[in-house]
Amino acid sequence: MKKITPKQYASALYEAVKDKSGAELKSSFNNFLALVWQHKDWKNLAKILTSFGHIYNQQEGITEAVAVSAQKLSPAIFHKLEHWLAEQTQKKVILKTEVDQSLLGGVVIKYDDLILDGSLKTQLANLKNQLNS
């Protein structure tokens, strides 16, 4: 029997549960878990769920982003960043924040496969490199 990859499981789970709710959703999910158990792939559940999250976000037009700053972002700045990212990606944005005091100031935004580095730390390093050239 051919081995089922976590991505294949995740894709099948998405197809099984999309547009379902209540008892129908619970039944589909229980059937999925029974399939995983039957194939003895329970050790891959974490990978399956991670893949499911990626597939779900892609299919539902959602992008996850992280804004890293030297101090906690104010609610106003958080919402501006979230709105700007939604405009840039044309998707619904789930924005998470992290604090990294080594940045000194500014913000580093990570989403999809992009990193937008507007940190003071990077700007100072770039200036130093230009002066040393």
One DSSP character per residue, 25-53 reads: HHHHHHHHHHHHHHTT-GGGHHHHHHHHH
**Residues near 2 by beta carbon (within 8 Å), at least 6 away in sequence:** none
Residues 58, 47: contact at Cβ < 8 Å? no
Residues 95 and 53 both lie in one domain: no
Please list the residues that pair with 25 across neighbouring strands: none
**121 part of a folded domain:** yes
Q: How far is Cα 79 from Cα 64, in angstroms, rounded to an integer? A: 14
**1 part of a folded domain:** no
Spell out the per-residue pLDDT of the chain, length 133, in tens. 678 999 999 999 999 999 999 999 999 999 999 999 999 999 999 999 999 999 999 999 999 999 999 999 999 999 999 999 999 999 999 999 999 999 999 999 999 889 999 999 999 999 999 999 7
**CATH number of the domain where residue 120 is located:** 3.40.30
